[in-house]
Amino acid sequence: MPTVQTKEGILEDQIMNTVNWARAQFALTAMYHWIFVPLTLGLAFLVAFFESIYVKTGNEEWKKLTKFWMTLFGINFAIGVATGIILEFQFGTNWSNYSWIVGDIFGAPLAIEGIFAFFLEATFFAVMFFGWHKVSKGFHLFSTWMVAIGSNLSAVWILVANGWMQYPVGMAFNPDKARFEMQNFWEVALSPVAVHKFTHTTSSAFLLASLFVVGISSLFLLQKRHQKMAKRSMVVAAVFGFIASTFVALTGDEAAFNVARHQPMKLAAMEGLYVGAEKAPIVAMGIVNSAKKPGDDQPAFIQEVKIPGLLSLLANRDANSFVPGIDDLVFGNSGRNIIGAEQRMVTGKIAVAALARYKEAKAKGDMAAATAALAVFDQHKGDLGYGYLKSPVQSVPPVSTTFYSFHIMVVLGTMFPLIFMLVLYFIFKGTIESQRWLNLACFASIFLGYVAQQSGWVVAEVGRQPWAIQGMLPVGVASTNIAASNVQTTFFIFLTLFTALLVAEISIMVKQIKIGPEA
C-alpha cells in the first residue's frame, strides 16, 4: 500500500529541508572561518615572542625573522575577519528565531567582542605593521603584544557565547515575550563550560600555530634556505607548542568532565556508548556499527579495542562509577534515576501547551486562566525544548560522526607533543638539518593540525545536536522561516567565495614563503 503524505507532513519536510540547509551553511562558514582563526590566535603570540627577543638582544636577524612571520600573520588575519563577519550575519538571516529567543543573552558577549576586543587589536594592528622606524622599539613591541592579547580577547567572548549554548545558565524564560533573558552576566561569562572551552580552544590554537612555524621552518631546512632563521623559529615555536600541548591535554580532560556533567548524551556519542555501565571502558579504537539504533539488540561496534574503567574515571573521577549510555538517556533508567528524552517529551509538551494557553488567556484578559496556565508552565518549563521533538530518538546526535571526530582529535593531539620534543632534541644535538624524515613529518603536521582543529569543533557542535541551545531550543525551532532554495543559493555562493579566499590565502602565503625573510 503506498504511503500517503498529508499537507502537514509536506510542510514539515519543507521546514526540515530549510533547517538542514541552514545548518549546512553555518557549518560551512564556521569550518572555513576556523581555518584562519587558530593560526591568528597562536601566531600573534609567537610574533610577540620573536619581537621581544629582538628588542632584548638588538639582533637584526630576529627583527627580520619577526617581520617575516608577521607578514604571514597579517595575510591570515585579513581573511579570517572576512569569514567571521559573514558567520555572525547568519544569525539574522538563517537563524532569526534563535536571535529573537536568546538574543538578549547571546548578543551581549558578541557585542563586547566587537566593541572592546576587536577594536583593541584593530587599533594597534596598523602600528604593528606600519610603525617600524616610526615609533620607538618599546611602543612597537607593546603594539604587537596588544594585537596578540586583543585577538585572544575576541576569542574569549565568542567562546563564552558558544559555551552558553552548550550549558545555558544565568537566564530566565519570559513567557510574555517567549524569549530567554539574562539574569546574571557573570554566571554566563564564568560558567565552567565557557572557561574550559576558552582554555582548550586557545591552547589548541597555540599548538596549531607552533606546528605551522615548525613546519614552514622545516621546509626551509629541506630546501637548504634560511637555515639559521629556521632553527631559531623552530626553537621558540617547539617550546611554545610543547607547553601548549600540555595545556591542551589538561583542559581537554576538564572539558570532557564538564561534558559528562552537563551534556551526557554528547559523551555517550563520543564513545559510542549505548548501554550505560559501571566501570565503563573507553574505546581506544573502533569501527562503529552504522546500523545500530537506540534500543535495538545490535552491537555498537563491528570491531573495538577497549580500556576498562577509564571512561568512568575520566567522566566522574571514579573508575567504579556509572556512566549513562544513549539508551538510558533516550528511554530512561528508573534504577539509576535517569529521566530519558521519552519522559521529558511528555512534560515538555505539557509546557508548550500551557504556554500557548497562557498567552491566549492573557490576550483575552482572563487573568485567572492565565495564572493557572502559567503555574503549569512553571512546573514543567525545564523540559520545554523537548516538547518540540517529534521522537525521543531525535535527541541522539550522529554517533558515527561524533565518535570518529573525537578519536581523530585525541590521537593527533597525542602525537604533536612528541614531534615538538623530537624537534628540540635534534636542534640541541645540532643535527636537525640532516633529519629529513622529521622535517617531512613536521611539514605534514601543519595539515594534521588543521584536521585536529576541525575534528574538535565537529565534536563540539555535531555532538550537541539536535539542540541550538542545549536541552532548551531545538534547531528546528531556531531557524528562519524562509524557502530552502534561498538558503541553497547562498550556500553555494559562500562555498565559491570561501574557496576562492582560501586559494588566495594559500597562494599569497606560498609566494611570501618562497620570497623568505630577506624581503
- Give the model confidence (pLDDT) of 431-489 as tens digits: 999 999 999 999 999 999 999 999 999 999 999 999 999 999 999 888 888 888 888 99
Q: Report how far residue 328's alpha carbon sits from residue 308's, in angstroms, rounded to the nearest whole number.
A: 20
- pTM for the predicted model, two decimal places: 0.91
Mean pLDDT score, 108-137: 83
Q: Look at the alpha carbons of 495, 497, 498, 504 in this order and tell me if their dihedral is positive or negative.
A: positive
For the stretch 287-343, pLDDT in tens is 999 999 999 999 999 999 999 999 999 999 999 999 999 999 999 999 999 999 999
Q: What sign results for the dihedral spanned by CA atoms 273, 468, 261, 241?
A: positive
Give the model's confidence band at 519: pLDDT under 50 very low, under 70 low, under 90 confident, else very high.
Answer: low
Averaged confidence pLDDT in the chain: 90
Q: Which residue has the cell 588566495?
A: 504
Q: Cα 484 to chain center, whole Å?
A: 26
C-alpha span between 209 and 481 (Å, rounded): 40
Q: Report, as an integer, the average pLDDT of 233-262.
A: 94
Residues ≥6 apart with Cβ < 8 Å to 67: 132, 517
Contact 278, 322 (CB under 8 A): yes
Q: Which residues pair with 323 in a beta bridge?
A: 277
The per-residue DSSP string of 266-302 comes to HHHHHHT--S-EETPPEEEEEEE-TT--TTSSS-SEE
Q: pLDDT tens digits, residue range 255-273? A: 999 999 999 999 999 999 9
Of the pLDDT bands very low, low, confident and very high (cuts 50, 70, 90), residue 15 is low
Alpha-carbon distance of 342 to 391, in angstroms, equals: 8
What are the domain boundaries of the chain? 33-268+392-515, 341-388
> How far is it, in rounded angstroms, from Cα 401 to Cα 392?
20
C-alpha to C-alpha distance for 445 and 225, rounded to whole angstroms: 20
Q: Where are the alpha helices (DSSP H) in 167-191?
A: 185-189
The answer to whether 173 and 3 have CB atoms below 8 angstroms apart is no
pLDDT exceeds 70 at position 1: no
Phi, psi of 170 (to 5 degrees): 65, 30
Backbone angles phi, psi at 215, to 5 degrees: -65, -45
